Amino acid sequence: MPVFKTPFNGYSVKFSPFYESRLAVATAQNFGILGNGRIHVLDLSPTAPTLSQLVSFDTADGVYDLSWSESHDSLLVAAIADGSVKIYDTALPPTANPIRSLHEHTREVHSTDYNPTRRDSFLTASWDDTIKLWTVDRPTSVRTFKEHAYCVYNAAWNPRHSDVFCSASGDCTLRIWDVREAGSTMIIPAHEFEILACDWNKYDDCVIASASVDKSIKLWDVRNYRVPIAVLNGHGYAVRRVKFSPHRRNVLASCSYDMTVCLWDFMVEDALVARYDHHTEFAVGVDMSVLVDGLLASTGWDELVYVWQQGMDPRAV
């Protein structure tokens, strides 16, 4: 299966919503603590199991996350450790990038998510305890959401309702927001430890997954959130990201500081479908292709990017 070696530690990987063979990788030097960053745009070869670099962009600080535009096939939004949000056009040379640099967050920007239904706006979540809403054409944010009492690690749009998103925070809460409302519309005390990630089910817009430092993933139905509809245990350390399948209602992927990537079916008793232990350092980035059913990608602090088909060994040549 295709593997790509990055010079810095991997932090995030995202498949393009336009090209089935393209993905972007966010990396940070010195484990993201201090130093530069680099964004890699990679292409899968149609004839051989290889990943080749289309273009890369250097940053003065680490890159923690990125998201592809849902309206422009060449645009990328990057979450930077210096608190900035940068927009890149992969069709332009590195010297012409970034095409925009947005400076409003006062601490590290940890995640970004592009609106999949409205396609004109994106969210950023930061260690300054806030989430910001942006549009590509505005030099300032549209709105700031400030309720969390600690770092916001992740914010994710609802796949069906263009004004609704969820956020995951170190204050141990999961919050639901509607951009038309003054404050959050729902607060779920989802875990007793920091929540590092959240995602919406792509087939049931009332179901959310939360991933925590407590090693668990919990599934919540926002119509009745007093108890989770499922608790997925199996990771040995904090769960860093969680991602629902774009193709199968009950399937989600996760990655963890235990160096593994796991696939789950949350509707069956033996929920763990597969465990992949191909990384030799913290596995911190995972994604599932929207365009190719069962195609997965992961990255980690071992400076490697893997792409593989579900059921295959990521390390198989």
- CA 292, CA 21: separation in Å to the nearest integer? 9
Instruction: Say what the pLDDT of residue 33 is.
Output: 84
User: CB of 273 within 8 A of CB of 265?
Assistant: yes
Helix (H) or strand (E) holding 257: none
Instruction: Say what the pLDDT of residue 269 is.
Output: 93
Under 8 Å CB-to-CB from 158, ≥6 apart: which residues? 164, 165, 166, 200, 205
Residue 259 carries which side chain, given as an amino acid letter? Answer: M
Residue recorded with tokens 């336009």: 18
Instruction: For the chain, list residues with pLDDT below 50.
Output: none
Instruction: Read off φ and ψ for residue 96, nearest 5 degrees.
Output: -95, 5
User: Considering the entire predicted model, what is its pTM?
Assistant: 0.97
Residue 46: which region, alpha, beta or left (left: phi > 0; alpha: psi -120 to 50)? alpha
Residue recorded with tokens 């969210």: 123
Instruction: Say what the pLDDT of residue 96 is.
Output: 98
Cβ-in-10-Å burial (0-12, 13-18, 19+) of 294 comes to: middle
- CA 177, CA 170: separation in Å to the nearest integer? 17
Instruction: Say what the pLDDT of residue 98 is.
Output: 98
Instruction: Say what the pLDDT of residue 32 is.
Output: 85
Q: What digits encode the pLDDT tens for the residues 106-139?
A: 999 999 999 999 999 999 999 999 999 999 999 9
- CA 313, CA 23: separation in Å to the nearest integer? 20
Helix (H) or strand (E) holding 84: strand 84-89
What tokens were used for 133? 């809403």
- CA 148, CA 56: separation in Å to the nearest integer? 34
User: CB of 271 within 8 A of CB of 252?
Assistant: no
How long, in residues, is the chain?
Answer: 317
Instruction: Say what the pLDDT of residue 31 is.
Output: 86
> 135: which strand partners?
121
Instruction: Say what the pLDDT of residue 34 is.
Output: 86
Instruction: Say what the pLDDT of residue 305 is.
Output: 98
- CA 67, CA 156: separation in Å to the nearest integer? 11
What tokens were used for 126? 């930061």
Q: What digits encode the pLDDT tens for the residues 53-72?
A: 999 999 999 999 999 999 99
